[in-house]
């Protein structure tokens, strides 16, 4: 069987990544999303196993020790990580698996899965990025400045990704995203079966 | 301005490459096709400058000496080659340029333009390949065998291409081909302008 592909998705605050991913899932409901393991407490409205598996710090550290994670990170004192097994199983089953991570996580995954395809979600301009980060205008300027600094730091890594999807019009961006995933199945490494069959290998 | 891309297309006899390229051109009439320079005499129905420029052997050898070609080859005593200037001009103008060549030509172009995207057109199975090469059954078996041998030799190089388009249903294959070209514009190397603009570089 031809293998599936890992897609790594990153995008800073203000890229509209989360809304875009929801729209992508509407258009391509067969896409598998990786579920992160995290040690922070569950928030109101969150469901175990939907976007996150909420696990203990002890279990997380065991996962690190056993090399059960594709990537992990610490954020405000909590662990965040991508379990390896579900991703590798999906790919071996010929399915695509989408992993949302920050640039740091992306680099870690690419080291372990060099043929993963990476997509960076970009805001359409600096002006729109600033407007999105300012939001409803209730935050202090220093908070907004920090968000902008962090967003620009992530964008400075965009050049290391395979594809850029500019999230200006949501519908257009979602279609572009889905087409990048669709075209991937024509890549040669996913068609070796046919080549070998014709050559009687 | 963002650069265009060179697409290298190969496919053996029996892949239906020529019919597919016509259909692709119907669907995407803005695609530029590279015109080969050749030294064989013009055949009935051929038009100068349409698919080929018919030039003298002396002029061709001058082009080789001046490094004016991206690739060239000798076939049954005649030279065939791809002039470099029109391809590089198109790409610098932000346009895509499609070059149809055999596997030998493809390797030569990839050495000069490493970021060219290569697409191999495949027959859907060995049985269909054989049936297509047998044609109307008027050719001698030895001729058919030679064609099959040559086709399989080309297919054994398919693994070196970026994409495989299986030409079973013509309409489907043409759509796949066009989508591969469309998605290419989301590759990061064609979006550096936006990244640099947002980062004020």
CA atoms within 13 A on the CB side of B68: 13
Inter-helix orientation angle B17-27/B170-184, to 10°: 60
State what percent of residues in chain B have pLDDT above 90: 88
Q: Looking at the predicted structure, is the pLDDT value of residue A30 above 90?
A: no
Which residues share a beta bridge with B7? B98, B117
Match 């030569």 to its residue by tokens: B108
pLDDT band at A101 (very low <50, low <70, confident <90, very high): very high
Which residues share a beta bridge with B75? B78
pLDDT at residue number B49: 93
Which residues share a beta bridge with A196? none
Inter-chain residue contact A198 with B161, CB threshold 8 Å: no
Q: Looking at the predicted structure, is the pLDDT value of residue A39 above 80?
A: yes
pLDDT at residue number B139: 78
Whether B24 has its CB under 8 Å from any CB of chain A: the answer is no
Distance from CA of B66 to the nearest CA of A (A): 35
The model carries a pTM of 0.92
Distance from CA of B170 to the nearest CA of A (A): 16
Q: Looking at the predicted structure, is the pLDDT value of residue B143 above 90?
A: no
Q: What DSSP string describes A128-179?
A: HHHHHHHTTS-S-HHHHHHHHHHHHHHHTTGGGSSEEEE-SSHHHHHHHHHH
Nearest to B179 among A124, A182, A192 (CB): A182
User: What's the CA gap between B48 and B166, in Å, rounded?
Assistant: 31
User: What's the CA gap between B90 and B101, in Å, rounded?
Assistant: 18
- Average pLDDT over all residues of chain A: 94
Q: Are the beta carbons of A8 and A110 closer than 8 angstroms?
A: yes
Inter-chain residue contact A179 with B176, CB threshold 8 Å: no
User: What residues contact residue A17 under an 8 Å CB cut-off, 6+ apart?
Assistant: A9, A10, A11, A100, A121, A167
Mean pLDDT (whole number) for A175-192:
95
Inter-chain residue contact B188 with A152, CB threshold 8 Å: no
Q: Looking at the predicted structure, is the pLDDT value of residue A2 above 90?
A: no
Mean pLDDT (whole number) for B176-187:
96
- Average pLDDT over all residues of chain B: 94
Q: In this predicted model, what pLDDT tens digit does every residue of B63-111 receive, in sequence order?
A: 999 999 999 999 889 999 999 999 999 999 999 999 999 999 999 999 9
State what percent of residues in chain A have pLDDT above 70: 99
CB-neighbour burial class of residue B20 (10 A; exposed 0-12, middle 13-18, buried 19+) = buried
Token digits of residue A5: 């592909």
Mean pLDDT (whole number) for A128-152:
87
pLDDT band at B2 (very low <50, low <70, confident <90, very high): confident
pLDDT at residue number B108: 97
Q: Which B positions 33-92 lie with beta carbon below 8 A of chain A? A: none
Q: ipTM, 2 decimals?
A: 0.91
Q: Looking at the predicted structure, is the pLDDT value of residue A1 above 90?
A: no
Nearest to B198 among A126, A182, A183 (CB): A126
Q: Looking at the predicted structure, is the pLDDT value of residue B148 above 70?
A: yes
Q: Looking at the predicted structure, is the pLDDT value of residue B152 above 70?
A: yes
Nearest to B155 among A122, A179, A198 (CB): A198
CB contacts, 8 Å: A157 with chain B? none
At B98, which helix (H) or strand (E)?
strand B97-100
pLDDT at residue number A136: 65
Whether B141 has its CB under 8 Å from any CB of chain A: the answer is no
What domains are defined for chain A?
A: 6-198 (3.40.50.300)
pLDDT band at B200 (very low <50, low <70, confident <90, very high): confident
Match 């050898």 to its residue by tokens: B61
pLDDT band at A135 (very low <50, low <70, confident <90, very high): confident
Q: Looking at the predicted structure, is the pLDDT value of residue A91 above 80?
A: yes
pLDDT at residue number B60: 97
User: What's the CA gap between B89 and B96, in Å, rounded?
Assistant: 10
CB contacts, 8 Å: B165 with chain A? 186
Whether B7 has its CB under 8 Å from any CB of chain A: the answer is no
Q: Looking at the predicted structure, is the pLDDT value of residue A193 above 70?
A: yes
Mean pLDDT (whole number) for A17-44:
94
């Amino acid at each position: 069987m031809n293998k599936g592909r890992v897609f790594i998705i990153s995008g800073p605050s203000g890229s509209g990544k989360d809304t875009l991913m929801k729209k992508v899932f509407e258009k391509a409901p067969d896409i598998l999303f990786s579920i992160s393991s995290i040690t922070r407490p569950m928030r109101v409205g969150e469901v175990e196993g939907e976007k996150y598996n909420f696990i203990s710090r002890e279990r997380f550290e065991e996962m690190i020790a056993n090399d059960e994670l594709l990537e992990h990170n610490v954020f405000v004192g909590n662990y965040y990580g991508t379990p390896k097994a579900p991703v590798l199983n999906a790919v071996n089953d010929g399915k695509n698996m989408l992993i949302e991570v920050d640039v740091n996580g992306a680099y870690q995954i690419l080291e372990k899965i060099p043929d993963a395809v990476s997509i960076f979600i970009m805001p359409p301009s600096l002006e729109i990025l600033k407007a999105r980060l300012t939001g409803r205008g209730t935050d202090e300027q220093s908070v907004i400045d920090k968000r902008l600094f962090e967003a620009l730091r992530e964008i400075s890594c965009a050049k290391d990704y395979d594809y850029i999807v500019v999230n200006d019009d949501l519908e257009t961006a979602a279609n572009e995203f889905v087409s990048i995933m669709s075209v991937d199945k024509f890549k040669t490494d996913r068609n070796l079966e046919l080549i070998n069959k014709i050559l009687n290998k």
